[in-house]
Structure 1
Amino acid sequence: MAYSPWIGNLKVNGRWGNYGTVKLLLDETTGGATAPQLNISIEIAAQGTAPEQFEVELFSNLNRRDFVKTHEPLADSGGPTSYWMPHRMAFQGNSFDNLVFGLTLPVEQCGAYRLTARYRATGSDTWWWHNDFPPWPDTPLQRDCAVVVSPHKAAKACLYEANALTVEALAGGSYENRSTLDDFLSTHDFDGFNPFQLTYITNDLGFNTLWLMPVFPNTQWRWDRQKWDWAPNDSPGSPYSSRDYWSINRWLADNAAADRALELLKILFKEASDVDLDVILDLAFNHAGRDVIYGAGAIDLGFCTMQEAENWIRQHRPSWCTRGTAFVDGHSVPYYREAAHSDFECAVWAPTDRLNEHIWDDANVDWFFGDYSALGPKPGRGTDYWGNPVTHWDPKGNAEDERDLFYTDLASDSDTEKLWQYFGYILPYWIEKSGGKLAGIRADFAQGLPNQLWEYIVNRTRKARWDFIFLAEVLDPDVIQYRLNRVFDVLTTKDHHLYRMNTVRMTDLFHSLEEESTLFGGEALVMHNGSSHDEVDNDNKWAMMARYAVTASMYGCPMVFMGQPLGLADKLPFRDSWANMYKAWTEHIPEREAVGRMYLKINQARAATPELREPNRYFLGLVGGGFHEEIFSVARWRGENGEKDAVTLVFVNLNVTGGNAGVFRLPEHIRLSGQYQARNLVADDAHRDLWPEPREAREIYDNGIYVVFTLPNEVQYLKLVPV
């Protein structure tokens, strides 16, 4: 390679751009002065060369969401309908011996974007890319910077998760006693048993987003490891192994008809919209059931005829599936980097690239989205499907590989490109079917797709609805969490166990939240929860309310599972038994309404208090130093036109048996001036002054804030109100 000057030190909004991530919030309906901008700079080690000797360009798909393509040849970039655009950068000065070039770009559309930079000598046809050079010798090559522009409303989401087959199921625990979609409705509930409906979520608890567990038909088959053969999957089986991405599970209708289930879902979307409740659907794109069919979407795309819509994909297009395992000299040889050539070659279980780490016996199609560097098991020693020790090593990469390389050629009309188009059409299809009201997804095992495909799905979907929200379930180590943060609006916390522990302490929460901020950046939205369909709950409903108060006071998205406000102690198994909540709804549960009112007050306070939904935070220590380990304590504030700040101080008693008290110091970089009163936003009377007299700002700094709890699990959101 001929010598050329090094290009690097990419910075975006003052942060390092090499494999960096910038996360922004945007309301496309307002734009103008409130819209964010990107300030980008890059350096060239010119060794005395004049800046006029270089042409420097930023290369990005920023704001090109509506021109999204599965791939675009470099020669096609830069046109009126191109997905990727070059932007000329101007010389800005010198940084030591390097030339600095920069530009500012407006951010106009929500989407998942990337950017890099390139230069060429004036008059030359040869471009040198930021990605051609390492940041310093003997290190990996530099990579793109990700820019995730999320809908502004994502920071306001408070999620309530529900299983439509379980939430209002009658006693008995059987198919006949299941709940159905009409049980969510106020005007179409047919069984006369109606303790739960959409207005319970909004009016009684104050949540603004309903997360529905999967509503697609689930596979009818499951791999029986004991018999080493196929077995029925109807008790009720996992909804995370879909049979058809394009219809609604007939079990969700009172008459067990798919058309009726779709009609009820549309009514649900309509009623939810009427009460300002967003609805997001849960789905798994990494894997599907053995009997997954083409479905209606494949007809729309021209991938099959109407007569072929019910055909099993593994039989009629096995190249969309991952090749399974061969046996050579008594050892298993995984082919997770290859597509299958026949039904017989398709992998028996998913995910095929994680060996025994995650194995789902009813997920019997592993989609082959192409070969990429992050495909494969994590490095190190582990076990195979049968428990035999193996060493995981793959020269092309592994689950923790950060090179962000995609090896497969997405040539036009290739099988891989068609599969990308198939999955890119699912969400626009359901947005249209919902009358434009489907508001987002929770993506199960989101790390099972390459980031490049997620970028395509995000931008393809946002053409249909710009404020669609993408929430990712990520199960794995930090590098994998970080990789998914580069395309998703919201990530799930790894530390959900902390938010259901009776013994959790302030230091535990502090370290967890600070580690998340260090990993993702302070502007990243993280969903914090204690319970879910995967997590065992805590039957102390007051303790779970208090831990929810912690999550609701932080930047991100607080979430509960449907049994949490009722004090249910388990996750309500959804795969191997027909669960129900009948007893929880019908038996006398002391203080159930009081607990519900606290959730409502917390959510109302969050909705009405902007600083609780913004990134600024300072964890409060005692006047004498250190944390009070049994009191969660944080200051939340926002700047007020360069003058005094709007401030809310959050204190949550983590003690499940008794009271607590402490005096907490407020840092002076939170700007107070004049006099203040304190009011508890979650008290029965949120307008009552708590202090006998207003206090001067200087006196608050000097003497601190005295907080006393008389009850276990008590919550105080103290708003400092200027007098």
Structure 2
Amino acid sequence: MAYSPWIGNLKVNGRSGNYGTVKLLLDETTGGATPQLQVTVEIAAQGIPPEGFEVELFSNLNRRDFVKTHEPLAESGGDTSYWMPYRMSYQGNSFDNLVFAHSLPVAKCGAYRITARYRAAGSDAWWWHNDFSPWPDRPLQRDCAVVVSPGKAARACLYEANALTVEALAGGSYENRSTLDDFLSTHDFDGFNPFQLTYITGELGFNTLWLMPVFPNTQWRWDRQNWTWAPNDSPGSPYSSRDYWSINRWLADNAAADRALELFQTLFREAGDAELDIFIDLAFNHAGRDVIYGAGAVDLSFCILQEAENWIREHRPSWCTRGTAFVDGHSVPYYREAAHSDFECAVWAPADRLNEHIWDDANVDWFFGDYSALGPKPGRASDYFGNPVTHWDPKGNAEDERDLFYTDLAADSDTEKLWQYFGYILPYWIEKSGGKLAGIRADFAQGLPNQLWEYIVNRTRKARWDFVFLAEVLDPDVIQYRLNRVFDVLTTKDHHLYRMNGVRMTELFHSLEAESTLFGGDALVMHNGSSHDEVDNDDKWAMMARYAVIAAMYGCPMVFMGQPLGLADKLPFRDSWANMYKAWTEHIPEREAVGRMYLRINQARAATPELREPNRYFLGLVGGGFHEEIFSVARWRRENEERDAVTLVFVNLNVSWGNAGTFRLPDNIRLSGRYQARNLVADDARRALWPEPRDADDIYQNGVYVVFTLANEVQYLKLEPV
């Protein structure tokens, strides 16, 4: 019988590697123990002995410093190659299959992939893991993703701010806008200074500032009613950039671009002194109609200095997605093609979603190539007027998980140049910030192929190894999972739960467990109740309590600038010159008390390692079931051979009155000896809460009694050995 080749059952650290994702944290500067990846794969040998095969693991792990847009297979394996083969050794048999293994150290943060291949001894023909299905009639196998994130990503607590709004004066006009000097302690010129970096760090305890986009935004907007262009200066959306390579002049007190850059750089210097990381917000999927080449294109020799102000859609339309044509009354999509002229460029973005979104000021949709995940979500396509249309694309759709890239990234192709253009943006701003730019929040991150994100991540990490990538992905699970294979942190889709007065423990439990099931327990998720996109809850105490829930979980807790002040409005930054003047100047006696609670929660999280690690157990009552009005979770980490370090988090979800309950600890949390409890967020965090220390057996048998005398009360109970 003829030999039938097959390679499969790829496993990484014991887990399935077929379209799997491994998430690791690493600090490249500590010199501690290096994580290892143990990779195994099986071959259907059909009686051929192990020495009859040559088996290789194939990966770009640790090779970020040699990142390329594309590397031909023949160029892999060299000293400066991006992809490397590693010989795998025979380990034994799994039923009738031969098992081969190889161990790789994890030494550099980056976004990587792993696959495997084999050939018969003496043959030149390789058979790849991705050529076969795991079972008949199943999709072909795919790479395993390995996301190695900087350890500080798990410590980030984010405060989001709009620099034009956060300290704008009353009046709501361009003249009343706030500017970057309003963030500074030494350069605030208008005499109104309730907000600055020390407010974020010292009064609230956040360690990361997320700045909404700071680049010049487009001055054009598509008027759908009149099929024409309209001005976009009121102030317009910052998520449609005009120039990726300069700071919006509106962010300077004198409205000068050079001054805006100077203040931007001063901001990073002061943030460094305050031990505050800064993330910038960027939309890479789309830009404004008038987006220009900018300084980066000059650096990359894509244009000369005299052409830096040229509109890209006019001078290099092949970087833009082709739009639509109307044929027999139907809209024909060309989203898998590059435009050939300014006239052909798509009028709005994202062009491939076929009117699921129409962002009127996003009038350039970048053409990053043709790949399987382009296209509308199934069942969501419509024509320009919103009428549903039947759409089927044999190449794929937004939920396609084959991870195929159809475009040839040949050297000097237009697509390769566009990838290089976007791969240079973050290193450029790392340099301009004096090396201090710490991360990005990627708007509509699903609008780029994963292969491009991998290039951007690794290209950026050549400039700063601990740069953090946060993705906004609010689409279905398969799309979220795909982006999790590249990004350090993803946003939750369930942010509405964390601003609901009536949210219950079961809802929070199911949401958090569903995220863990989808992404894996080691994935970092940013949780939030408010943002620039969300209508808030004006009950500042309830929002503080919801923040206490998310700060107690593994991931990245986040607030929008108005949340600690009790603002219910997301602030209409696009269509008006919004301001927070009233929120800052009104006499609100509770404001300082609410701020102190954010500070205590963030300080407790920073000082308590188990709150920043994955282990968790949602606590039920001694009598069974959840207390629906009390969020309850145990967080622990291995302390020594006998016991774990344990913090129990309880948050009263009731916004009107107190609560009480007795909660049972599971046996798999190891307690030994006697314990006392203290509340890490209390007025007196050192005060013992129990009249006498309790034995571990007593805690297991009788549980932990918690009483809340106040609505929205928070208790982070540290169990301390006596």
- Measured against the shorter chain, the TM-score band is over 0.9
Q: What SS does structure 1 have at the residue aligned with 2:457? A: helix
Distance 2:395 2:523 in 1: 30
CA distance in 1, matches of 2:244, 2:218: 11
Q: How far is 1:381 from its partner?
A: 5.1
Residue 31 (structure 1) shift: 3.3
Question: What TM-score, normalized to structure 2?
Answer: 0.99
Offset of 1:249 from its aligned partner? Answer: 0.3
Structure 2 CA distance for aligned equivalents of residues 506 and 239 of structure 1: 37
Counterparts in 2 of 1:81-480, with a 5 A limit?
Answer: 81-380=80-379, 382-480=381-479
Q: Deviations over 1:341-395 (max 9, x none)?
A: 0000000000000012111000000000000000010112542221122023110
Q: Helix, strand or coil for the counterpart of 2:11?
A: strand
Are 1:68 and 2:67 matched, yes or no?
yes
Paired position in structure 1 for 2:16: 16
Q: Which residue type is aligned with residue 23 of structure 2?
A: K
Whole-angstrom CA distance in 1 between matches of 2:118 and 2:681: 57
One-letter amino acid matched to 2:390: T
Structure 2 CA distance for aligned equivalents of residues 551 and 166 of structure 1: 26
CA distance 1:74–1:608, change in 2 (3 Å):
same
- In the aligned structure 2, how far is the partner of 1:669 from the partner of 1:391? 53
Q: Determine the structure 1 residue equivalent to 2:618.
A: 619
5 Å matches for 1:15-54? 15-33=15-33, 35-54=34-53
* CA deviation string 1:681-701 (max 9, x = no partner): 000111110000000001100
Contact 2:331 2:384 in 1 (8 A): no
- TM-score normalized by structure 1? 0.99
Moved more, 439-448 or 378-387: 378-387
Q: What's the CA shift string for 1:551-581, capped at 9, x where partnerless? A: 0000000000000000001101110001000
Identity within the alignment, %: 89
CA contact (8 A) 1:663 1:706 kept: yes
Distance 1:193 1:81 in 2: 54
Distance 2:503 2:337 in 1: 46
Match of 1:350, SS state, is coil
CA offsets, 1:44-72, max 9 Å, x none?
11122211111110000000000000000
Find the counterpart in structure 1 of residue 546 from structure 2. Answer: 547
CA distance in 2, matches of 1:231, 1:638: 57
The AA in structure 2 aligned to 1:656 is: V
> Partners in 2 of 1:714 and 1:381 — Cα distance?
43
Deviation at 1:640, TM superposition (A): 1.3
Task: Output the CA distance in 1 between the equivalents of 2:335 and 2:94.
Answer: 46
Matches within 5 A, 1:533-544: 533-544=532-543
| CA-atom RMSD in angstroms | 0.7
User: Any idea what the Cα deviations from partners look like across 1:194-214, whole Å, max 9, x if unmatched?
Assistant: 000000000000000000000
> Which digits, 9 at most, give the CA deviation of each residue in 1:217-237, with x for residues without a partner?
000000011121000000000
Rounded Cα–Cα distance in structure 2 between residues aligned with 1:560 and 1:642: 38
Structure 1 runs (4+) deviating above 3 angstroms are none
SS at match of 2:537: coil
Shift of 1:277: 0.2
| Residue 574 (structure 2) pairs with residue 575 (structure 1) | yes
Distance 1:589 1:572 in 2: 20
Which letter maps to 1:683? A
Amino acid at match of 1:569: A
- 1:14 Cα shift? 1.0
SS at 2:428 equivalent: helix
Q: Do residues 669 (structure 1) and 668 (structure 2) align?
A: yes
SS at match of 2:549: helix
Equivalent in the alignment of 2:521: 522
Query: What's the counterpart of residue 588 of structure 2?
Result: 589
For residues 390-421 of structure 1, the C-alpha deviation after alignment (integer angstroms, 9 at most, x for no partner) is 02311000000000000000000000000000
* Distance of 1:368 and 1:570 partners within structure 2: 35
Would you say the 8 A contact 2:330–2:383 is kept in 1?
no
SS in 2 for 1:463: helix
Partner of 1:499: 498
d(CA) in 1 for partners of 2:701, 2:689 = 19
> Which structure 2 segments of 5+ residues have no match?
none
Task: Give the Cα separation in 1 of the matches to 2:712 and 2:409.
Answer: 55
Q: How many residue pairs were aligned? A: 721
By how many angstroms is 1:32 displaced? 3.7
2:474–2:492: 8 Å Cα contact kept in structure 1? Answer: no
Task: Find the aligned partners of 1:263 and 1:64 in 2 and give their Cα distance.
Answer: 35
Alpha-carbon separation, structure 1, partners of 2:689 and 2:391: 60
User: For 1:553 and 1:652, how far apart are their aligned partners in 2?
Assistant: 10
Distance 1:349 1:480 in 2: 22
Distance in 2, Cα, partners of 1:215 & 1:389: 37
Q: Please state how far the C-alpha of 1:3 moved relative to its aligned partner.
A: 4.9
AA matched with 1:23: K
Q: Which amino acid aligns with 2:484?
A: N
